[in-house]
Structure 1
């Protein structure tokens, strides 16, 4: 595909989006009926603001979901310290909750507009951002083109490209180049990610490391933690967290395989999507297991086999209940989930082989002895059994994981340095406005 055809494709994308705009209401309404949209704030998805724009310089941050939101919180906090206003958009209800919990009224939260010209234009007409900062891998053609047309500098931070995404973009190299030429800067997570962005035409590209390393460990309600710890007592535990379809049953099968050796074993299963919990509880119960659901307040009794962590925002609680964690989306699904939170909380990390989206992080943990890759269910059962029975080996993994996280810190400082040429003029503008207002 030539450059001319790439630009023609993007023009067609623009017109198709404008034509489809009147018909997307049904789609958004369906998502709202499934709890995937905030019913009372659906208009924000069409770019209709629910807040007034404050006077002075303003930066638009976008983070798609929970993980990206948590990653940019320290970056946003640093920028708020300069007196610059921030509008943060996210794409999910749960990420909006995280934004409220972590940042509260210090920022303006909006749901991200649909990547259709009328919605994006309405959003930009109201907010007039001086700078757009996008987290990780959110590459929306219409949004990028509209920002470019308005000459708003846009920067991708904590940027990453999975194997699948890179392969897909390489097939459309001219389209990628036509989009990435609108980027003022790409700050990539790893050298591999940096090379991939450069191959797709991004300039300039710097490497910061992973912003998620510089976040605080996920919090836990101390009262709830103490109550559950009392219910568990001295029972041995292990956890399967951020699990996807098939991995919960696998974890239950591992439990069944190990409970004869560890008679009071408690297995903690935390599905990535808690809306699957009711069906999972039925499935696990049918396997002859006694299941306690966190969301319904079930007590953990000596007969409880599985604690089903089917709540949002309590990963910090679940990880503090164990010293061994299998991180999901790595055995029956592909890409993996971030192992940093378990490592931060002194947990021995296990995962399947499909961790391509976090390859660099896993490699560092494995090299230092903080994580282990398991091939299948039986190998997972063997690893959990070994760690439950060998306190020294378990604690060596825990210590190595925490040390690796400490070694990886520094991404926030490197990202702020890359952003300095774009943020400094806004700091000056903010201070001049403040001086003029006195």
Structure 2
């Protein structure tokens, strides 16, 4: 009954959703050429034969799925792979990295007619969800069509778990529709079982197996030469509300480090103008990477507002503040930065990645801070002690290597549901 009410409301909201997405196009936050995908209308042709559909909500989840996608692409050449994501940022990022022949589409809004159109066109043999971006109409319609469904790196925050638990009449049939859940940790096994999943196994978090994109040596060398001899630190994946903290920390550090360079990589590049204005209000000289502005001697802030280059900055800059941890977004996965051997700093709001963060803290590869003052002190201490900074980076890399799960475990679990090679 609750599912039927949900579907009815989603149907009624259809006209409003059309207006909403057209407004997002005008704001530059949606891709006009691919807007039809939000209504389940394909913009690419479906090849004949078997098809595996994989879904990831955003950049981090899509990047984590890449390892699985590449192995499936190499070992199951007779299967078409379809990847859907939810955000424009993720689409722009992932399309550059997908193996040839892998199709990307944006997932449709969870309105019955649009979901039916999507499923009827693509006709997947297997659907693989990353983590827990689950939509009731999509899950129920896929189940009705007999599509095998799996969750990999299954993870539900405590709040999300409690919300699903409070609507058990809806949660039980939806979670029970999944053939298999490969949970990120043991606590997650308990949560998925409590919500109605039947076959739940602990495998580990696929994000821990992230292999950073290859770093362009020429670009890295150019950047390293541009910052040579200067005290420098990186603020990675900042969200609204965190840039002010970074600028505050910069103002405190620069008192003892007058030639300090702060590099900011915003989580969402559409905030670049906003960050540039903040720098101007603080009287700071800023260079923007997207505008090909070089780092000069007087440059105080380098705004790296381009996509797909964060690994370059992780590999060149020895100190990284991993943002998304000073505002309530749950933090970001620290493993990609750890692989690159940078000393890590993060704030206290890292519930989504607490396990990885604790491992790094215990190994000496990271430090936790609470505000702009403690961030400034930690960065300044590390700038004054390059030996400790280097040791932290090495520890972080060892943690990342040790936590990398064997992707073969996931493939073995998926094998009974993978489409067989045609005779």
Q: Report the TM range for the smaller structure's normalisation.
A: over 0.9
* Offset of residue 23 of structure 1: 4.3
Question: Which deviations, in whole Å up to 9, do the C-alpha atoms of 1:18-73 show, x marking residues without a partner?
Answer: 33334432122122222332211211211112233222211111111111111111
Corresponding residue for residue 366 of structure 2? 371
Q: Is structure 2 residue 404 aligned with structure 1 residue 409?
A: yes
1:66-85 Cα shifts (integer Å, max 9, x gaps): 11111111111111221211
Aligned Cα RMSD in Å? 1.6
SS of the residue corresponding to residue 418 of structure 1 reads: helix
CA displacement, residues 155-213 of structure 1 (integer Å, 9 cap, x when unaligned): 11111111221222222233221210111111111112222112212121112212122
SS in 2 for 1:353: coil
Call closer, same or farther: CA 1:76–1:247 in 2, change over 3 Å: same
Which structure 2 residues correspond to residues 312-391 of structure 1 after superposition, within 5 A?
312-391=307-386
Query: Displacement, 1:370?
Result: 1.1
Shift of residue 264, structure 1, vs aligned partner: 2.2
8 A Cα contact 2:203 2:409, kept in partner: yes
What TM-score does the superposition give when structure 1 sets the normalisation length?
0.92
Match of 1:41 in 2: 34
Contact 2:181 2:199 in 1 (8 A): yes
Partner of 1:262: 257
- The aligned counterpart of 2:178 is 183
Distance 1:14 1:317 in 2: 45
Q: Structure 1: which 5+ residue stretches go unaligned? A: 1-7, 433-438
Q: Which runs of structure 2 are paired with 1:218-297 in the superposition (5 Å)?
A: 218-297=213-292
Is it true that 1:123 corresponds to 2:118 in the alignment? yes
Please point out which of 76, 99, 102 is paired with 1:82. Answer: 76
TM-score w.r.t. the length of structure 2 is 0.95
Query: Structure 2: which 5+ residue stretches go unaligned?
Result: none
Greater CA deviation, 90-99 or 155-164?
Answer: 90-99
> By how many angstroms is 1:340 displaced?
1.2
Please give the alpha-carbon distance, in whole angstroms, between the structure 2 residues aligned to 1:236 and 1:327: 18
- How far apart in 1 are the matches of 2:199 and 2:291? 50
Return the alpha-carbon distance in structure 1 between the equivalents of residues 175 and 360 of structure 2.
32
Preserved CA contact (<8 Å) 1:244 1:329: yes
Counterpart for residue 167 of structure 2: 172
The size of the alignment, in residue pairs, is 421
